[in-house]
Amino acid sequence: MMIPKYEAEQVLARALSCGGDFAEIYVEHTKENQLSYVNHQVDKLYDNMVSGASVRVFDGLRCVSASTSDLSLSGLLSCAARAAEVLGQGKAPVEIHLREQIPGDIHPIRVVPAGARISDKLDLVREAYEAAKADSQEISQVSAELLDFDHRILVANSEGLFTQDRQIRTRLVVNAVASAGGENQLGSCSPGRRSGLEMFEEISPGQVGRKAARQAVTMLHAGYCPAGQMTVAIENGFGGVIFHEACGHSLEAESVAAGLSQFGGKLGQKIANEKVTAIDDGTIPNAWGSINIDDEGTPARKNVLIENGILKSYLVDKLNGRRMGLDSTASSRRQSYTFPTTSRMTNTYIAEGNDDNKEIIASIEDGLYCREMGGGSVNPVTGAFNFAVREGYRIRNGKICEPLRGASLIGTGSEILQNIDMVGKNLEMGQGMCGASSGSIPTNVGQPLVRVSRITVGGR
């Protein structure tokens, strides 16, 4: 146990000693490891133990927080005092009684990576590295990285909650560079799971390396994507980043409660094409964005965000829930104790539709097929988003033709949600790190193949 129950009770009582109606303490111990392999040698071996605590006090709609890396009882009490003092002085002493709640573990782990030998991890990255190198003579450089996190959290609050979770995550990241004629192109592949090293029984490191290499080589021989408005087909897996950016962020209560979302006040209204049903589900066993409890201690759940185009739910944390008069949807997440927690996504995807994947491609006379998407960003206020197309192809007369590089997609969320007019049947997830005010957190994006009838393609 990171801190005993009686210490948490003292800290919470101190936090409420000057006013406020709710207090919470979040404690974490996170072991982070990263092994990078470049130029046939270990390039980086990162090994860190993050530990600290954050105390929050709510006073109506106001929130005061303090954090510290000092986990001694005196350090925690002084942290609570810094938060409390802001609220003023004088109030009857508060007594806190905590009851331990043990959440069910829906993400069993077999091989804890933090306990594995470095040499075993090295074998995995080397396999991925060598496979990428050997794939083509044009591959000039490869970097392979194994990242693992053993994140233990404890959450206690003045409502009596005292709960803990251990979140183990593993990810393999391979980047390959293909070079010819003074030009470089990049390919990458980076699968991750909320599981231990047993993830490599399902995913072969060699295949990850080859996939990255093939993408780099394909792009090296691609021409530049033309600019303009087009019909676009976006493939499954990481293609789901389109929904994540164009819509997901604007459904986070952090934006909605502050009056900063394009979808504010639209519950029950049609905001998307009726083909679109979108879900955020933190309970998918061992998925990259899954949780047992969120960072406020609420048990994970599956939330239907959009059903046949109708907005059904936002992603809500406790504080913004108060501001909006809504209950938490178990969506409160933070990178670590140093970031204030807020509403975020877990595994967010567009559900499978009824359109045949072949028909989707066949329906496009002249357009763009995005096999692999890169990252992107959005302004939740305007809904204006952008994302990079990592591997694109021209579609001519219903057939996927030559590869294209350097494309990006831009538009606004409300517009693209209406323009997703065909949804296929091959749902798959892709892994990403999502950055926002509460830090960088692991999230899955996902979708089947979809068609967007019209979108601006940035190219040249």
Interface of this chain with another protein, residues 94 to 123, rule: CB under 8 A: 118, 122
Q: Does 1 participate in binding another protein (rule CB under 8 A)? A: no
Interface residues for another protein in 164-203 (CB under 8 A)? 177, 179, 182-186
Contact 386, 450 (CB under 8 A): no
Stretch that binds another protein, among 94-102, 255-263, 363-371, 394-402 (CB under 8 A): 255-263
Residue 39 binds another protein (CB under 8 A): yes
Can you tell me whether residue 73 is helix, strand or coil? helix
- Look-up: residue for tokens 């409502």? 159
Alpha helices in 402-460 (DSSP H): 413-419
- Which residue in the set 77, 260, 304, 351 belongs to the binding site for another protein (CB under 8 A)? 260
Kindly state the DSSP code that residue 433 receives in the 8-state scheme.
E
Interatomic CA distance for residues 160 and 9, integer angstroms: 9
DSSP state of 24: E
Pair of tokens at residue 387 = 């994302």
User: Of the two residues 58 and 284, which places its CB atom closer to another protein in the complex?
Assistant: 58
First-to-last alpha carbon distance for the chain, in angstroms, is 57
Q: State in angstroms the smallest separation of the CB of 40 from another protein.
A: 12
> What are the DSSP calls for 290-346, one per residue?
--SB-TTSPBP-EEEEEETTEE---B--HHHHHHHT----S-EE-SSTTS--EE--S
Structure tokens that stand for 246 in this block: 């164009």
Question: Cβ of residue 279: shortest distance to another protein, in angstroms?
Answer: 24
Report the C-alpha dihedral over residues 260, 330, 432, 413, rounded to 10 degrees: -30
Residue 440 lies near another protein (rule: CB under 8 A): no
Which residues within the stretch 58-87 sit at the binding site for another protein (CB under 8 A)?
61-71, 79, 82-83, 86
Report the nearest approach of another protein to the CB of residue 197 (Å): 17
* Residues from 214 through 233 that contact another protein (CB under 8 A): 225, 227-229
Q: Which one of the spans 103-111, 164-172, 259-267, 310-318 is the region binding another protein (CB under 8 A)? A: 259-267
- Give dist(CA 253, CA 432) in Å, integer: 21
- CA separation for the pair 456, 460 (Å, rounded): 12
Helix (H, G, I), strand (E, B) or coil at 69: coil
Q: How far apart are CA 3 and CA 155, in angstroms?
A: 10
Q: Which of residues 127-146 bind another protein (CB under 8 A)?
A: 140-141, 143
Cβ proximity to another protein, 262 vs 419, nearer residue: 262
Q: Which is nearer to another protein, 20 or 289 (CB)?
A: 20
Minimum CB distance to another protein smaller for 34 or for 283: 34
Instruction: Compare residues 6 and 46 and give the one whose CB is closer to another protein.
Output: 46
What's the rounded Cα separation, in Å, for the pair 287 and 278? 17
Binding string, residues 273-312; x marks residues near another protein by CB under 8 A = ----------------------------------------
Quick one: 63 or 234, whose CB is closer to another protein? Answer: 63
Judged by beta carbon, residue 45 or residue 362, the one nearer another protein is 45
Query: Reduced to 3 states, what is the DSSP secondary structure of residue 148?
Result: strand
Q: In angstroms, what is the minimal distance from the CB of 181 to another protein?
A: 11
Query: Which stretch in 35-43, 105-113, 193-201, 422-430 sits in contact with another protein by CB under 8 A?
Result: 35-43
Residue whose CB is less far from another protein, 43 or 402: 43
Residues 317-336 binding another protein (CB under 8 A) are: none
> Hunting for tokens 């105390």 — which residue is that?
55
456 lies in the binding site for another protein (CB under 8 A) = yes
Token pair 């409300």 in the structure block, residue: 414
Residue 8 · residue 100 · CB < 8 Å: no
Nearest to 349 by CA among 282, 286, 279, 273: 279
How many residues sit close enough to another protein to count as binding (CB under 8 A)? Answer: 77
Residue 283 CB, nearest approach to another protein (Å): 29
Applying CB under 8 A, the span of 50-58, 202-210, 284-292, 363-371 interacting with another protein comes to 50-58
Contact 93, 17 (CB under 8 A): yes
Q: Shortest approach of another protein to residue 410 CB, angstroms?
A: 5
Residue 375 found at the interface with another protein (CB under 8 A): yes
